[in-house]
Amino acid sequence: MNPQLAEVVEAAPGKLAAVQSLEELDRVEAELLGRRSVLAQLQKAIGSLPPEERPALGRDLQQARATLVELVETRRRALEREIADRVATADRVDVTLDAFRLPLGSRHLIYQTIEEVCEIFVSLGYVVAEGPEAEIAWYNFDALNTPPTHPARAETDTLYIDFGDPATEPLLRTHTSPMQIRWMEAHRPPVAVVVPGKVYRADTIDASHLPVFHQVEGLMVGEDVRFSDLKGTLAHFARSFFGPQTQVRFRPSFFPFTEPSAELDVSCFACRGGEPGCRVCGGEGWLELLGCGMVDPNVFDAVGYDPKSVTGFAFGMGVERLAMVRHSIDDIRLFVDNDLRFLRQFP
């Protein structure tokens, strides 16, 4: 390479490194590549060279120019970054400040629990139905094989209302089961339905009782629904809701509208079985979860299904209880108190 050119190219990185501003860079660029630069002078001189030397110098010039342009641009990009960083750094703030508080509200824990429960059954092919809260005794009791002498019908248990024909015993439903009847009246088997909603009892308010709470009811009816289907379905539910390691226990019980009837207990998720004094299960190791059973033939008779050709199972669970057990809530009144400090814990 032409020694003059080689000298310029060799000196360029050092010169550029010393440049600290874009203005200075412009000057250095002019010095290296401008009209008065060594490159420009050699370019002008090229015509005066003997023809055989011209191509070599031309190649050297081209190569040196490319190198210098790249060096200058590299330095320019670096300088621009440095300057922008300096400016931006001066713009810094305390990023930990809570200076723009976007609100987030909450969905009620009961509402969330109902959705979660229903969703488990929806994934098993159930339909979600809701029914009226003010009912008549036929749907709440008679059609559910609950005779007129049954204690649940007493005024000490059931809230009655002053609407319509008193002979129909208008009342506030004591469970979500009336919707079983309404659904079966309106649909032919096979049926798979879950019914969430409010239910009412003549209970005095205390830490474990409310006159109004929520249940989720379930019903499956078909030609070949058996006890094992009841067990499998509810065990699946328990494991979906409380976790796959949950143990289930079905034990015989009694409800007027199912036969055989069962209570489903689940292993305590807190102590995983019988730690003395466990705050969730009290050391018993089991938590009562829900009541269930095979639909009583009298219920099928009441809705016009033939009990000889269809069978089914039904279940009902208290939503408040599910939520209390899972979230260690020891006072049911928190659900109706609507204190923001409670509501906001479950967004």
- Restricted to residues 172-211, the positions that interact with other proteins (CB under 8 A) are 172, 190-193, 198, 202-204, 210-211
Cβ 22 to other proteins, closest distance in Å?
Answer: 31
Q: Minimum distance from CB of 222 to other proteins (Å)?
A: 7
In the complex, minimum distance from the CB of residue 214 to other proteins, in angstroms, rounded to a whole number:
9
Instruction: Look up residue 112 and give its amino acid.
Output: Q
Nearest to 316 by CA among 187, 160, 149, 140: 140
Rounded Cα distance between 160 and 153, Å, is: 10
Q: Is the Cβ of residue 269 or residue 335 nearer to other proteins in the bound state?
A: 335
The interface with other proteins within residues 133-162 (CB under 8 A) comprises 133-136, 149, 151, 154-156, 159-162
Q: How far is the CB of 290 from other proteins (least distance, A)?
A: 14
For residue 42, how many C-alpha atoms fall within 13 Å in the half-sphere facing its CB? 24
Number of Cβ within a 10 Å radius of residue 332: 20
- What residues between 231 and 260 interact with other proteins by CB under 8 A? 231-233, 235-236, 249-254, 259-260
CA distances (Å), origin 173, targets 209, 213, 248, 339? 16, 11, 29, 27
Determine, following the binding rule CB under 8 A, whether residue 311 of this chain makes contact with other proteins: yes
Q: Which CB, 64 or 194, lies closer to other proteins? A: 194
Which residue of 41, 63, 168, 208 would you call a contact of other proteins, by CB under 8 A?
168
Pick the closer one to other proteins by CB: 60 or 288: 288
Distance, in Å, from the CA atom of 222 to the CA atom of 267, rounded to the nearest integer, reads 30
115 binds other proteins (CB under 8 A): yes
Q: Give the span between the Cα atoms of 32 and 26, in whole angstroms.
A: 10
Kindly state the smallest distance separating residue 27's Cβ from other proteins, in Å. 40
Distance between CA atoms of 9 and 3, rounded to whole angstroms? 10
Given 68, 72, 144, 220, the residue binding other proteins (CB under 8 A): 220
Does an H or E element contain 295, and which?
A: strand 286-295
Residue 179's Cβ-count burial label (10 Å; 0-12, 13-18, 19+) is buried
Footprint on residues 80-99 left by other proteins (CB under 8 A): 97-99
- Cα dihedral sign, 180-240-279-328: negative
For other proteins, the closer of residues 4 and 247 by Cβ is: 247
272-301: which residues touch other proteins (CB under 8 A)? Answer: 294, 296-297
Spatial distance between the Cα atoms of 51 and 182, rounded to a whole number of angstroms: 107
Stretch that binds other proteins, among 6-14, 52-60, 61-69, 220-228 (CB under 8 A): 220-228
**Count of residues that bind other proteins according to CB under 8 A:** 92
CB of 269 to other proteins, least distance (A): 19
Contact region with other proteins (CB under 8 A), list: 40-48, 52-60, 81-89, 230-238 = 230-238
Q: Which is nearer to other proteins, 75 or 173 (CB)?
A: 173
Place of tokens 């928190």: 334
Nearer to other proteins, 87 or 97 (CB): 97
**Smallest gap, in angstroms, from Cβ of residue 262 to other proteins?**
6
3-class DSSP assignment, residue 89: helix
Write the DSSP symbol of residue 223.
S
Residue numbers 18-57 binding other proteins by CB under 8 A? none
β-partners of residue 194 are 128, 218
Q: Which is nearer to other proteins, 52 or 224 (CB)?
A: 224
Q: Does 74 bind other proteins (CB under 8 A)?
A: no
Angle, alpha carbons 205-208-210 (nearest 5°): 40
Pairing, β 286-295 against β 258-267 = antiparallel
**CA–CA distance, 316 with 217 (Å, rounded to integer):** 4
